[in-house]
Amino acid sequence: MSRRPYNRPMSKTTWYMRNSRYKVYVLRELTSFLVAFYSFLTIAALAALASDSAEVWNGFLASQQSTGMVIFHGLALLYFLFYQTFPWFKLAPKAMPIQLGEKKLPDIFIIFGHYVAWVVASAIIFWLAGVI
């Protein structure tokens, strides 16, 4: 019979508070709430659009206009950039290393490529939306 193994006491709900790396990990995972929120907000917009009525659509747009929502979107944007977009780009060379013969393409090129692609993708979206 083996001895009872030692189990280090660990909280199931606050374990990530003991280490800053764990905290950052949990903060990254929490961006999924924003993804879910904006996905369903966009679906709500599509529902208004599917009514085929400019009045319903303008009603939806008007319902989104408030100081609270301006602050919320502003904070959400910063949080999303620093805990989803930038970490995802930083991780890219580890997830998809590019082999060139014997050598690997340096991480910085892959990361930089992602930033360039991000600027281009954002520009296309803003162009489609008529912002630029």
Alpha carbon 58 to its chain centroid, in Å, reads 28
CA dihedral sign, ordered 31, 33, 37, 40: positive
Of residues 9-48, which lie at the interface with another protein (CB under 8 A)? 11-13, 16, 26, 29-36, 38-43, 46-47
- Contact (Cβ atoms closer than 8 angstroms) between residue 79 and residue 33: no
Question: What would the two tokens of residue 103 be?
Answer: 């050598």
H/E segment holding residue 99: strand 99-100
Of residues 61-100, which lie at the interface with another protein (CB under 8 A)? 61, 64-66, 69-70, 72-74, 76-77, 80-81, 84-85, 88-89, 95
Q: Note the residues at the interface with another protein (CB under 8 A).
A: 11-13, 16, 26, 29-36, 38-43, 46-47, 49-50, 52, 54, 57-58, 61, 64-66, 69-70, 72-74, 76-77, 80-81, 84-85, 88-89, 95, 117-118, 121-122, 125-126, 128-131
